[in-house]
Structure 1
Amino acid sequence: MAFTLKGVAYITGAGSGIGQFAAYALARQGVRSFALLDRNPVTSTVTELNKKYPDISVKEIRLDVADESAVNDSILQTVKEFGRIDYAVNNAGIGGTLKTTDQVDLDDFQRVLAVNTTGVWMCQRAQIRQMLKQEKPSEFERSYRGSIVNTASMYGTLAPSLNVPSTAYCTSKHAVVGLTRADAIAFAPQGIKINAICPGYVATPLIASSMNQNDVMERERMKIPLQRLANMEEIGDSIAFLHSEASSYMVGASLVVDGGFTIQ
Protein backbone atom coordinates (compact mmCIF):
# COMPACT_ATOMS: atom_id res chain seq x y z
CA MET A 1 0.00 0.00 0.00
CA ALA A 2 1.06 3.57 -0.57
CA PHE A 3 1.37 5.60 2.60
CA THR A 4 1.57 9.20 3.73
CA LEU A 5 3.10 10.34 7.01
CA LYS A 6 1.77 13.40 8.80
CA GLY A 7 3.09 14.70 12.08
CA VAL A 8 6.30 15.50 13.93
CA ALA A 9 9.56 13.55 13.64
CA TYR A 10 12.34 13.42 16.22
CA ILE A 11 15.62 11.95 14.89
CA THR A 12 18.92 11.48 16.72
CA GLY A 13 22.16 11.19 14.81
CA ALA A 14 20.52 13.26 12.09
CA GLY A 15 23.63 15.09 10.94
CA SER A 16 24.86 12.33 8.63
CA GLY A 17 24.46 8.72 7.59
CA ILE A 18 21.32 6.75 8.36
CA GLY A 19 19.80 9.51 10.52
CA GLN A 20 20.16 12.00 7.71
CA PHE A 21 18.56 9.69 5.17
CA ALA A 22 15.79 8.77 7.59
CA ALA A 23 14.90 12.47 7.64
CA TYR A 24 14.89 12.59 3.84
CA ALA A 25 12.68 9.48 3.64
CA LEU A 26 10.15 10.79 6.16
CA ALA A 27 10.02 14.12 4.33
CA ARG A 28 9.35 12.33 1.03
CA GLN A 29 6.39 10.62 2.67
CA GLY A 30 4.90 13.86 3.95
CA VAL A 31 6.46 14.80 7.31
CA ARG A 32 6.98 18.56 7.50
CA SER A 33 7.97 19.11 11.15
CA PHE A 34 11.34 17.83 12.35
CA ALA A 35 13.48 17.92 15.45
CA LEU A 36 16.93 16.97 14.20
CA LEU A 37 19.45 16.09 16.88
CA ASP A 38 23.16 15.35 16.78
CA ARG A 39 26.37 16.03 18.68
CA ASN A 40 27.60 17.63 15.46
CA PRO A 41 25.89 20.25 13.29
CA VAL A 42 22.93 19.07 11.21
CA THR A 43 23.51 21.83 8.66
CA SER A 44 23.76 19.64 5.56
CA THR A 45 20.58 17.75 6.45
CA VAL A 46 18.64 20.97 7.04
CA THR A 47 19.96 22.54 3.85
CA GLU A 48 18.88 19.58 1.74
CA LEU A 49 15.45 19.40 3.36
CA ASN A 50 14.85 23.13 2.86
CA LYS A 51 15.95 22.88 -0.75
CA LYS A 52 13.46 20.12 -1.59
CA TYR A 53 10.61 21.05 0.76
CA PRO A 54 10.27 24.84 1.25
CA ASP A 55 7.31 24.35 3.61
CA ILE A 56 9.34 22.32 6.11
CA SER A 57 9.95 23.36 9.74
CA VAL A 58 13.11 22.19 11.51
CA LYS A 59 14.22 22.47 15.13
CA GLU A 60 17.98 21.89 15.36
CA ILE A 61 19.20 20.59 18.71
CA ARG A 62 22.74 19.69 19.78
CA LEU A 63 22.46 16.48 21.78
CA ASP A 64 24.71 13.96 23.47
CA VAL A 65 22.36 11.02 23.96
CA ALA A 66 24.45 9.84 26.92
CA ASP A 67 23.41 12.97 28.84
CA GLU A 68 20.11 12.25 30.63
CA SER A 69 19.15 15.87 31.34
CA ALA A 70 19.95 16.88 27.75
CA VAL A 71 17.78 14.05 26.41
CA ASN A 72 14.83 15.05 28.56
CA ASP A 73 15.28 18.71 27.64
CA SER A 74 15.35 17.88 23.92
CA ILE A 75 11.91 16.29 24.22
CA LEU A 76 10.59 19.36 26.02
CA GLN A 77 12.06 21.63 23.32
CA THR A 78 10.47 19.54 20.57
CA VAL A 79 7.04 19.52 22.17
CA LYS A 80 7.25 23.24 22.90
CA GLU A 81 8.02 23.85 19.23
CA PHE A 82 5.62 21.39 17.59
CA GLY A 83 3.16 20.23 20.25
CA ARG A 84 3.82 16.48 20.05
CA ILE A 85 6.11 13.73 18.73
CA ASP A 86 4.65 11.25 16.26
CA TYR A 87 7.74 9.54 14.82
CA ALA A 88 10.94 8.96 16.80
CA VAL A 89 14.12 7.53 15.28
CA ASN A 90 16.72 6.65 17.90
CA ASN A 91 19.66 6.37 15.59
CA ALA A 92 22.68 7.99 17.28
CA GLY A 93 25.43 5.45 17.86
CA ILE A 94 29.15 4.72 17.73
CA GLY A 95 31.09 1.74 16.46
CA GLY A 96 33.83 1.43 19.03
CA THR A 97 37.09 -0.37 18.42
CA LEU A 98 37.44 -3.65 16.55
CA LYS A 99 38.68 -5.77 19.44
CA THR A 100 37.81 -9.04 21.09
CA THR A 101 36.86 -9.12 24.77
CA ASP A 102 40.39 -9.86 26.02
CA GLN A 103 41.62 -6.69 24.28
CA VAL A 104 38.84 -4.24 25.18
CA ASP A 105 39.34 -1.73 27.98
CA LEU A 106 36.47 -1.24 30.41
CA ASP A 107 36.20 2.46 29.56
CA ASP A 108 35.91 1.70 25.84
CA PHE A 109 33.27 -0.97 26.44
CA GLN A 110 31.21 1.27 28.70
CA ARG A 111 31.47 4.21 26.29
CA VAL A 112 29.88 2.18 23.49
CA LEU A 113 27.07 0.96 25.75
CA ALA A 114 26.50 4.47 27.13
CA VAL A 115 25.69 5.78 23.65
CA ASN A 116 24.28 2.76 21.81
CA THR A 117 22.23 1.21 24.61
CA THR A 118 21.69 3.54 27.54
CA GLY A 119 21.34 6.51 25.18
CA VAL A 120 18.65 4.73 23.17
CA TRP A 121 16.88 3.72 26.40
CA MET A 122 16.91 7.29 27.76
CA CYS A 123 15.58 8.69 24.48
CA GLN A 124 12.90 6.02 24.27
CA ARG A 125 11.89 6.54 27.89
CA ALA A 126 11.44 10.29 27.32
CA GLN A 127 9.54 9.68 24.08
CA ILE A 128 7.20 7.15 25.70
CA ARG A 129 6.45 9.55 28.55
CA GLN A 130 5.50 12.21 26.01
CA MET A 131 3.52 9.87 23.75
CA LEU A 132 1.45 8.64 26.70
CA LYS A 133 0.23 12.23 27.07
CA GLN A 134 -0.88 12.42 23.43
CA GLU A 135 -4.07 11.27 21.81
CA LYS A 136 -4.12 9.23 18.62
CA PRO A 137 -4.47 11.48 15.57
CA SER A 138 -7.56 9.50 14.54
CA GLU A 139 -9.84 6.69 15.74
CA PHE A 140 -8.69 4.48 12.85
CA GLU A 141 -7.55 1.14 14.35
CA ARG A 142 -4.20 1.43 12.59
CA SER A 143 -3.48 4.80 14.19
CA TYR A 144 -0.99 5.17 17.05
CA ARG A 145 -0.23 7.74 19.72
CA GLY A 146 3.32 7.57 18.48
CA SER A 147 5.79 5.32 16.70
CA ILE A 148 9.40 4.64 17.70
CA VAL A 149 12.11 3.03 15.57
CA ASN A 150 15.44 2.12 17.16
CA THR A 151 18.50 1.62 15.01
CA ALA A 152 20.00 -1.74 15.97
CA SER A 153 22.10 -3.76 13.52
CA MET A 154 22.26 -7.15 11.89
CA TYR A 155 24.87 -7.65 14.62
CA GLY A 156 22.02 -7.29 17.07
CA THR A 157 20.79 -10.66 15.77
CA LEU A 158 24.03 -12.62 15.27
CA ALA A 159 27.69 -12.61 16.23
CA PRO A 160 30.12 -10.40 14.31
CA SER A 161 32.38 -11.85 11.66
CA LEU A 162 35.89 -12.81 12.69
CA ASN A 163 37.05 -10.06 10.32
CA VAL A 164 35.27 -7.45 12.46
CA PRO A 165 35.55 -8.44 16.16
CA SER A 166 33.29 -5.66 17.40
CA THR A 167 32.50 -7.10 20.83
CA ALA A 168 31.15 -3.95 22.46
CA TYR A 169 29.15 -2.89 19.39
CA CYS A 170 27.55 -6.34 19.03
CA THR A 171 26.65 -6.40 22.72
CA SER A 172 25.10 -2.94 22.56
CA LYS A 173 22.97 -3.75 19.51
CA HIS A 174 21.70 -7.03 20.97
CA ALA A 175 20.60 -4.93 23.94
CA VAL A 176 18.75 -2.51 21.65
CA VAL A 177 16.79 -5.43 20.18
CA GLY A 178 15.91 -6.61 23.69
CA LEU A 179 14.90 -3.12 24.77
CA THR A 180 12.71 -2.75 21.69
CA ARG A 181 10.90 -6.01 22.38
CA ALA A 182 10.41 -5.36 26.09
CA ASP A 183 8.95 -1.89 25.64
CA ALA A 184 6.94 -2.91 22.57
CA ILE A 185 5.04 -5.44 24.67
CA ALA A 186 4.54 -2.97 27.50
CA PHE A 187 3.25 -0.06 25.46
CA ALA A 188 1.48 -1.50 22.41
CA PRO A 189 -1.77 -1.79 24.42
CA GLN A 190 -1.44 1.91 25.18
CA GLY A 191 -1.14 2.89 21.54
CA ILE A 192 2.61 3.23 21.10
CA LYS A 193 4.30 1.23 18.34
CA ILE A 194 7.96 0.32 18.86
CA ASN A 195 10.17 -1.53 16.37
CA ALA A 196 13.84 -1.82 15.46
CA ILE A 197 15.69 -1.56 12.17
CA CYS A 198 18.66 -3.92 11.79
CA PRO A 199 20.81 -2.74 8.88
CA GLY A 200 23.59 -4.80 7.40
CA TYR A 201 26.61 -3.14 5.88
CA VAL A 202 25.65 0.31 4.63
CA ALA A 203 27.69 2.53 2.32
CA THR A 204 28.18 5.34 4.81
CA PRO A 205 31.14 7.70 4.36
CA LEU A 206 32.99 5.87 7.17
CA ILE A 207 32.54 2.45 5.57
CA ALA A 208 33.43 3.79 2.14
CA SER A 209 36.64 5.22 3.57
CA SER A 210 37.57 1.94 5.25
CA MET A 211 36.99 0.01 2.02
CA ASN A 212 39.55 2.24 0.31
CA GLN A 213 42.14 1.59 3.03
CA ASN A 214 42.06 -2.20 3.43
CA ASP A 215 40.37 -5.34 2.13
CA VAL A 216 38.42 -6.26 5.29
CA MET A 217 35.20 -4.65 4.08
CA GLU A 218 35.72 -6.04 0.59
CA ARG A 219 35.81 -9.55 2.09
CA GLU A 220 32.65 -8.75 4.03
CA ARG A 221 30.96 -7.44 0.87
CA MET A 222 31.63 -10.73 -0.89
CA LYS A 223 29.61 -12.54 1.80
CA ILE A 224 26.46 -10.57 0.94
CA PRO A 225 24.19 -12.43 -1.51
CA LEU A 226 23.39 -9.15 -3.28
CA GLN A 227 27.14 -8.54 -3.62
CA ARG A 228 26.84 -4.91 -2.59
CA LEU A 229 26.43 -2.69 0.43
CA ALA A 230 23.09 -1.01 1.11
CA ASN A 231 22.81 2.61 0.16
CA MET A 232 21.62 4.92 2.89
CA GLU A 233 18.36 5.71 1.08
CA GLU A 234 17.34 2.05 1.31
CA ILE A 235 17.68 2.11 5.09
CA GLY A 236 15.86 5.44 5.32
CA ASP A 237 12.97 4.03 3.29
CA SER A 238 12.77 1.01 5.59
CA ILE A 239 12.55 3.30 8.62
CA ALA A 240 9.75 5.26 6.96
CA PHE A 241 7.92 1.99 6.32
CA LEU A 242 8.17 1.02 10.00
CA HIS A 243 6.59 4.36 10.93
CA SER A 244 3.76 4.00 8.45
CA GLU A 245 0.31 2.43 8.55
CA ALA A 246 1.69 -0.18 6.14
CA SER A 247 3.48 -1.70 9.16
CA SER A 248 0.66 -1.12 11.63
CA TYR A 249 0.60 -4.77 12.77
CA MET A 250 4.35 -4.93 13.38
CA VAL A 251 5.12 -4.66 17.10
CA GLY A 252 8.55 -5.34 18.60
CA ALA A 253 9.88 -6.44 15.21
CA SER A 254 13.54 -6.38 14.27
CA LEU A 255 13.44 -5.59 10.56
CA VAL A 256 16.66 -6.94 9.07
CA VAL A 257 17.80 -5.05 5.96
CA ASP A 258 21.09 -6.71 5.09
CA GLY A 259 21.04 -7.95 1.49
CA GLY A 260 20.72 -11.50 2.75
CA PHE A 261 23.87 -11.56 4.92
CA THR A 262 22.22 -13.15 7.97
CA ILE A 263 20.41 -15.96 6.14
CA GLN A 264 23.57 -17.75 5.05
Structure 2
Amino acid sequence: MSDQQPSPFRLDEKIALVTGAGKGIGRACVEGLVAAGAQVIAVARTASDLESLQAAHPQRVQAWAADVTDPGFLERIASLPQLDVLVNNVGTNKPQPFTDVEISALDLMLELNVRSAFLVAQAAARIMVRQGAGSIIHMGSQMGHVGAANRTVYCMTKHAIEGLTKAMAVELAPQGVRVNSVAPTFIETPMTRPMFEDPAFHRDVMARIPLGKIGQVQDVANAVVFLASDAAGMVTGDSLKVDGGWTAV
Protein backbone atom coordinates (compact mmCIF):
# COMPACT_ATOMS: atom_id res chain seq x y z
CA MET A 1 0.00 0.00 0.00
CA SER A 2 1.46 3.33 -1.05
CA ASP A 3 1.70 6.17 1.45
CA GLN A 4 2.44 8.70 -1.27
CA GLN A 5 0.42 11.89 -0.84
CA PRO A 6 -1.63 13.12 -3.82
CA SER A 7 -0.19 16.08 -5.68
CA PRO A 8 -1.59 19.42 -4.46
CA PHE A 9 -1.70 20.49 -8.11
CA ARG A 10 -4.33 17.85 -8.96
CA LEU A 11 -8.00 18.76 -9.34
CA ASP A 12 -9.56 15.30 -9.22
CA GLU A 13 -13.27 15.30 -8.23
CA LYS A 14 -13.42 19.08 -8.71
CA ILE A 15 -16.03 20.81 -10.87
CA ALA A 16 -14.82 23.88 -12.75
CA LEU A 17 -16.67 26.39 -14.92
CA VAL A 18 -14.82 28.43 -17.55
CA THR A 19 -16.47 31.31 -19.42
CA GLY A 20 -15.24 32.37 -22.84
CA ALA A 21 -14.07 28.79 -23.30
CA GLY A 22 -14.38 28.45 -27.06
CA LYS A 23 -11.10 29.99 -28.16
CA GLY A 24 -7.74 31.31 -27.05
CA ILE A 25 -7.04 31.65 -23.35
CA GLY A 26 -10.39 30.22 -22.25
CA ARG A 27 -9.97 27.09 -24.32
CA ALA A 28 -6.44 26.60 -22.99
CA CYS A 29 -7.76 26.94 -19.45
CA VAL A 30 -10.29 24.18 -20.10
CA GLU A 31 -7.53 21.95 -21.47
CA GLY A 32 -5.31 22.65 -18.47
CA LEU A 33 -8.03 21.99 -15.90
CA VAL A 34 -8.99 18.75 -17.65
CA ALA A 35 -5.34 17.63 -17.64
CA ALA A 36 -5.26 18.28 -13.88
CA GLY A 37 -8.26 15.98 -13.40
CA ALA A 38 -11.21 18.37 -13.20
CA GLN A 39 -14.63 18.02 -14.74
CA VAL A 40 -15.15 21.25 -16.69
CA ILE A 41 -18.24 23.16 -17.77
CA ALA A 42 -17.10 25.08 -20.85
CA VAL A 43 -19.18 28.16 -21.64
CA ALA A 44 -19.16 30.12 -24.91
CA ARG A 45 -21.65 31.71 -27.28
CA THR A 46 -20.45 29.74 -30.32
CA ALA A 47 -21.70 26.17 -30.10
CA SER A 48 -19.35 24.84 -32.80
CA ASP A 49 -16.28 25.87 -30.78
CA LEU A 50 -17.63 23.98 -27.79
CA GLU A 51 -18.51 20.90 -29.84
CA SER A 52 -14.89 20.39 -30.88
CA LEU A 53 -13.72 20.92 -27.30
CA GLN A 54 -16.24 18.45 -25.94
CA ALA A 55 -15.38 15.94 -28.67
CA ALA A 56 -11.76 16.04 -27.57
CA HIS A 57 -12.73 15.34 -23.94
CA PRO A 58 -16.12 13.60 -23.99
CA GLN A 59 -15.85 12.32 -20.42
CA ARG A 60 -14.51 15.54 -18.94
CA VAL A 61 -16.12 18.53 -20.68
CA GLN A 62 -19.75 19.63 -20.54
CA ALA A 63 -20.60 22.30 -23.12
CA TRP A 64 -22.91 25.21 -22.35
CA ALA A 65 -23.68 27.46 -25.31
CA ALA A 66 -24.70 30.62 -23.47
CA ASP A 67 -24.31 34.38 -23.25
CA VAL A 68 -22.86 35.38 -19.88
CA THR A 69 -24.98 38.55 -19.86
CA ASP A 70 -28.20 36.52 -20.01
CA PRO A 71 -29.99 36.23 -16.63
CA GLY A 72 -30.83 32.66 -17.59
CA PHE A 73 -27.13 31.82 -17.50
CA LEU A 74 -26.89 32.98 -13.90
CA GLU A 75 -29.90 30.84 -13.04
CA ARG A 76 -28.19 27.86 -14.63
CA ILE A 77 -25.12 28.38 -12.46
CA ALA A 78 -27.34 28.64 -9.39
CA SER A 79 -28.82 25.22 -10.18
CA LEU A 80 -25.45 23.47 -9.94
CA PRO A 81 -25.14 21.14 -6.95
CA GLN A 82 -21.36 21.61 -6.83
CA LEU A 83 -18.88 24.17 -8.14
CA ASP A 84 -15.27 24.24 -6.98
CA VAL A 85 -13.56 26.51 -9.50
CA LEU A 86 -14.72 29.50 -11.55
CA VAL A 87 -12.52 30.93 -14.28
CA ASN A 88 -14.21 34.26 -15.03
CA ASN A 89 -12.60 34.70 -18.42
CA VAL A 90 -15.03 36.55 -20.69
CA GLY A 91 -13.98 40.05 -21.70
CA THR A 92 -13.50 42.34 -24.65
CA ASN A 93 -11.59 45.41 -25.78
CA LYS A 94 -12.13 48.13 -28.33
CA PRO A 95 -9.09 50.43 -28.34
CA GLN A 96 -9.92 54.07 -29.02
CA PRO A 97 -8.29 57.41 -28.15
CA PHE A 98 -9.76 58.71 -24.89
CA THR A 99 -11.29 61.81 -26.46
CA ASP A 100 -12.93 59.68 -29.15
CA VAL A 101 -14.31 56.83 -27.04
CA GLU A 102 -17.78 55.95 -28.27
CA ILE A 103 -20.57 55.50 -25.73
CA SER A 104 -21.35 52.13 -27.30
CA ALA A 105 -17.77 50.96 -26.70
CA LEU A 106 -17.85 52.23 -23.12
CA ASP A 107 -21.13 50.47 -22.40
CA LEU A 108 -19.99 47.23 -24.06
CA MET A 109 -16.82 46.95 -21.97
CA LEU A 110 -18.50 47.94 -18.71
CA GLU A 111 -21.26 45.40 -19.35
CA LEU A 112 -19.03 42.51 -20.30
CA ASN A 113 -15.78 43.15 -18.43
CA VAL A 114 -17.23 44.38 -15.14
CA ARG A 115 -20.96 43.82 -14.68
CA SER A 116 -21.09 40.28 -16.06
CA ALA A 117 -17.87 39.34 -14.23
CA PHE A 118 -19.40 40.55 -10.96
CA LEU A 119 -22.68 38.72 -11.44
CA VAL A 120 -21.12 35.43 -12.58
CA ALA A 121 -18.72 35.52 -9.62
CA GLN A 122 -21.63 36.26 -7.29
CA ALA A 123 -23.59 33.27 -8.58
CA ALA A 124 -20.56 30.99 -8.21
CA ALA A 125 -19.67 32.33 -4.78
CA ARG A 126 -23.10 31.48 -3.40
CA ILE A 127 -22.48 27.81 -4.18
CA MET A 128 -18.92 27.88 -2.84
CA VAL A 129 -19.95 29.56 0.41
CA ARG A 130 -22.55 26.84 0.88
CA GLN A 131 -19.83 24.22 0.31
CA GLY A 132 -17.32 25.99 2.52
CA ALA A 133 -14.65 25.92 -0.19
CA GLY A 134 -13.87 27.13 -3.69
CA SER A 135 -11.54 29.10 -5.91
CA ILE A 136 -12.61 32.03 -8.09
CA ILE A 137 -10.14 33.24 -10.69
CA HIS A 138 -10.84 36.47 -12.53
CA MET A 139 -9.11 37.02 -15.85
CA GLY A 140 -7.50 40.40 -15.39
CA SER A 141 -4.74 41.97 -17.43
CA GLN A 142 -1.45 43.73 -17.02
CA MET A 143 -3.60 46.74 -17.95
CA GLY A 144 -5.22 46.34 -14.54
CA HIS A 145 -1.87 47.45 -13.06
CA VAL A 146 -0.65 50.09 -15.51
CA GLY A 147 -2.07 52.59 -17.98
CA ALA A 148 -1.88 52.59 -21.76
CA ALA A 149 -2.77 54.98 -24.55
CA ASN A 150 -5.98 54.20 -26.45
CA ARG A 151 -7.01 51.72 -23.76
CA THR A 152 -8.56 53.94 -21.09
CA VAL A 153 -11.82 52.03 -20.87
CA TYR A 154 -10.14 48.62 -20.92
CA CYS A 155 -7.66 49.72 -18.24
CA MET A 156 -10.53 51.07 -16.15
CA THR A 157 -12.43 47.77 -16.35
CA LYS A 158 -9.38 45.68 -15.51
CA HIS A 159 -8.48 47.92 -12.56
CA ALA A 160 -12.06 47.32 -11.43
CA ILE A 161 -11.45 43.56 -11.60
CA GLU A 162 -8.42 43.95 -9.33
CA GLY A 163 -10.52 45.86 -6.79
CA LEU A 164 -13.26 43.25 -7.02
CA THR A 165 -10.70 40.49 -6.50
CA LYS A 166 -9.31 42.04 -3.32
CA ALA A 167 -12.69 42.87 -1.81
CA MET A 168 -14.16 39.44 -2.59
CA ALA A 169 -11.07 37.74 -1.17
CA VAL A 170 -11.36 39.57 2.15
CA GLU A 171 -15.09 38.99 2.47
CA LEU A 172 -15.16 35.34 1.38
CA ALA A 173 -12.00 34.08 3.11
CA PRO A 174 -13.84 33.17 6.34
CA GLN A 175 -16.10 30.93 4.25
CA GLY A 176 -13.13 29.10 2.73
CA VAL A 177 -13.40 30.70 -0.72
CA ARG A 178 -10.23 32.01 -2.34
CA VAL A 179 -10.36 34.77 -4.97
CA ASN A 180 -7.47 35.75 -7.23
CA SER A 181 -6.81 37.18 -10.66
CA VAL A 182 -4.45 36.30 -13.47
CA ALA A 183 -3.01 39.31 -15.30
CA PRO A 184 -1.56 38.41 -18.70
CA THR A 185 0.44 40.57 -21.06
CA PHE A 186 -0.34 40.48 -24.79
CA ILE A 187 -0.87 36.77 -25.51
CA GLU A 188 -0.72 35.22 -28.96
CA THR A 189 -4.24 34.12 -29.81
CA PRO A 190 -6.34 34.01 -32.98
CA MET A 191 -7.64 37.47 -32.00
CA THR A 192 -4.22 39.08 -31.40
CA ARG A 193 -2.30 37.36 -34.20
CA PRO A 194 -3.23 40.03 -36.78
CA MET A 195 -1.98 42.70 -34.35
CA PHE A 196 1.41 41.00 -34.12
CA GLU A 197 1.64 41.01 -37.91
CA ASP A 198 2.09 44.79 -37.66
CA PRO A 199 5.90 45.16 -37.34
CA ALA A 200 5.67 48.37 -35.30
CA PHE A 201 3.25 46.83 -32.79
CA HIS A 202 5.37 43.69 -32.52
CA ARG A 203 8.53 45.70 -31.87
CA ASP A 204 6.83 47.85 -29.24
CA VAL A 205 5.48 44.85 -27.34
CA MET A 206 8.79 43.00 -27.45
CA ALA A 207 10.62 46.09 -26.19
CA ARG A 208 8.38 46.19 -23.12
CA ILE A 209 8.72 42.52 -22.11
CA PRO A 210 12.03 41.85 -20.35
CA LEU A 211 11.79 38.11 -21.01
CA GLY A 212 11.84 38.96 -24.71
CA LYS A 213 9.07 36.66 -25.90
CA ILE A 214 5.36 36.78 -26.62
CA GLY A 215 3.11 35.03 -24.13
CA GLN A 216 1.26 31.88 -25.11
CA VAL A 217 -2.16 30.71 -23.98
CA GLN A 218 -0.59 27.83 -22.09
CA ASP A 219 1.35 30.29 -19.93
CA VAL A 220 -1.95 31.74 -18.72
CA ALA A 221 -3.63 28.35 -18.34
CA ASN A 222 -0.77 27.13 -16.14
CA ALA A 223 -1.28 30.08 -13.79
CA VAL A 224 -5.03 29.39 -13.67
CA VAL A 225 -4.54 25.72 -12.81
CA PHE A 226 -2.13 26.66 -10.02
CA LEU A 227 -4.58 29.14 -8.48
CA ALA A 228 -7.41 26.61 -8.79
CA SER A 229 -5.47 23.95 -6.93
CA ASP A 230 -4.62 23.28 -3.31
CA ALA A 231 -1.03 24.22 -4.16
CA ALA A 232 -2.30 27.81 -3.90
CA GLY A 233 -4.18 27.12 -0.69
CA MET A 234 -2.65 30.13 1.07
CA VAL A 235 -3.06 32.49 -1.89
CA THR A 236 -6.03 34.86 -2.00
CA GLY A 237 -6.60 38.49 -2.93
CA ASP A 238 -3.60 38.44 -5.24
CA SER A 239 -2.93 39.03 -8.92
CA LEU A 240 -0.62 36.56 -10.62
CA LYS A 241 0.99 38.54 -13.42
CA VAL A 242 1.85 36.51 -16.50
CA ASP A 243 3.50 39.44 -18.24
CA GLY A 244 7.15 38.53 -18.80
CA GLY A 245 8.16 41.43 -16.55
CA TRP A 246 6.19 44.18 -18.33
CA THR A 247 4.84 45.72 -15.12
CA ALA A 248 8.17 45.34 -13.26
CA VAL A 249 9.93 47.91 -15.44
Same fold? TM cut 0.5: yes
Q: Does 1:107 align with 2:88?
A: no
Partner residue of 2:237 out of 234, 252, 260: 252
Q: Give the equivalent residue in structure 2 for 1:121.
A: 118
Q: TM-score, normalized by length of structure 2?
A: 0.91
Pairwise CA RMSD of aligned residues?
A: 1.5
Give 1:106 shift: 1.5
Contact 1:13 1:91 in 2 (8 A): yes
Contact 2:8 2:229 in 1 (8 A): no
Which residue identity lines up with residue 245 of structure 1 in the other structure?
D
**Could you report, residue by residue, the CA deviation over 1:69-99 in whole angstroms, capped at 9, with x for unpaired residues?**
133123045x1xxx30011100011112x21
Distance, in Å, in 1 between the alignment partners of 2:199 and 2:46 is 27
Q: Does 1:177 align with 2:149?
A: no
Partner residue of 2:93 out of 89, 92, 95: 95
Contact 2:140 2:182 in 1 (8 A): yes
Q: Give the equivalent residue in structure 2 for 1:61.
A: 64
Secondary structure of the 1:61 match is: strand
Partner residue of 1:223 out of 199, 205, 208: 208
- Report how many residues are paired: 240
Which residue identity lines up with residue 118 of structure 2 in the other structure?
W
Q: Does 1:74 align with 2:79?
A: no
Give 1:167 shift: 1.4
Distance, in Å, in 1 between the alignment partners of 2:155 and 2:111 is 14
Partner residue of 1:5 out of 11, 24, 33: 11
Q: Give the equivalent residue in structure 1 for 2:172.
A: 187
Give 1:214 shift: 5.1
Which residue identity lines up with residue 88 of structure 1 in the other structure?
L
Secondary structure of the 1:14 match is: coil
Distance, in Å, in 2 between the alignment partners of 1:100 and 1:74 is 38
- In the TM superposition, what are the counterparts of 1:6-25 in structure 2 within 5 Å? 6=12, 7-25=14-32
Distance, in Å, in 2 between the alignment partners of 1:46 and 1:103 is 41
Which residue identity lines up with residue 23 of structure 2 in the other structure?
S
The unaligned stretches of length 5 or more in structure 1 are 136-144
Distance, in Å, in 1 between the alignment partners of 2:124 and 2:223 is 21
Distance, in Å, in 1 between the alignment partners of 2:145 and 2:100 is 23
Which residue identity lines up with residue 119 of structure 1 in the other structure?
S
Give 1:112 shift: 0.6
Which residue identity lines up with residue 11 of structure 2 in the other structure?
L
The unaligned stretches of length 5 or more in structure 2 are 1-6
Give 1:153 shift: 0.2
Secondary structure of the 1:228 match is: coil
Give 1:208 shift: 1.2
